[in-house]
Structure 1
């Protein structure tokens, strides 16, 4: 199962979409845009898990796609 994540950069000025917690796949100015992109990727590559972090780098939500 692939794992995707949406997390802020260190200054919380961008939201990054990562695959398997490696280098960012892409980044967005808005958190909602990053989540939408990551959801689409996870759905296309299901089964997959999406972890969404808040600006304190804590997991705020976890979504599974089967």
Structure 2
């Protein structure tokens, strides 16, 4: 399962979308924009989960995405 993380930068003025245990993929100025980007990535690469951290790097929410069944 792929794991994506939304995490704040050092002083919480920006938000990173981090893929697995690699370097952050992109920096966003708004947390909501980072979450939307993370959701898009997680849905595209399902099965996956998205872990959203707060400004103190504490887990705030976890969302899981499953592969869609062929219709």
TM bracket (short chain): over 0.9
Aligned to 2:35, the other structure's residue is in SS state helix
Alignment match, 1:35: 35
Greater Rg over alpha carbons, structure: 2
TM-score normalised to the size of structure 2? 0.91
Shift >3 Å, 4+ stretches: none
Mapped contact 1:46–1:65 kept (Cα < 8 A)? yes
Where structure 1 has 5 or more consecutive residues not aligned to the other structure, the ranges are none
Shift of 1:22: 1.7
Count of aligned pairs: 66
Alignment match, 2:64: 64
Aligned to 2:26, the other structure's residue is in SS state strand
